[in-house]
Structure 1
């Protein structure tokens, strides 16, 4: 959930850590810059991007960047991720 701060807004986790599965028809999006610039990608590409951002940011090539490892997700009625998008942050 985003929380406002004096300089910006940030996300804070809430509750206990939980593992989620991806729905069969998950929609995945990567940020391509500031604002609402997004590119739809296969979930595997998003997964690799997130891994590179956590372990090897130099491997991430334009138009993508590692912008804070922040992802907005929505769940379907079975509790699986049906939409995941990277949130761009400078």
Structure 2
């Protein structure tokens, strides 16, 4: 798509705020990335991922950032996403990650 968006890399850390469970922590400076043509997206519907248009995922993220109360079940505002990139660094797949 070539549409730029912001992100920040993370590292996995053991222990922490979730009763000693592992979690992701920001690492490094914020960056800008683009989506590859044909990039796929998924949002959680309860604990299951559901494929959605990329535009829907971007709108969902914006809603979670600006007005989390507007996001209704079974959708959630979990802020962890698994991202796959191609050799150029463009996102080819992005999906919200379930975390019990």
Taking structure 2 as the reference length, what is the TM-score of the superposition?
0.77
Query: Could you list the runs of 4 or more consecutive aligned residues of structure 1 that deviate by over 3 angstroms after TM superposition?
Result: none
Q: Is structure 2 residue 15 aligned with structure 1 residue 5? A: yes
Cα root mean square deviation, aligned: 1.5
Q: Distance in 2 between matches of 1:9 and 1:33?
A: 21
- Ranges in structure 2 where 5+ consecutive residues have no aligned partner: 1-10
Q: Is structure 2 residue 54 aligned with structure 1 residue 52? A: no
After TM superposition, the structure 1 = structure 2 runs for residues 1-90 of structure 1, keeping only pairs within 5 Å, are 1-5=11-15, 7-34=20-47, 37-67=48-78, 69-90=79-100
- Ranges in structure 1 where 5+ consecutive residues have no aligned partner: none
Taking structure 1 as the reference length, what is the TM-score of the superposition?
0.84
Larger RCO of the pair (alpha carbons < 8 Å, separation 6+): 1
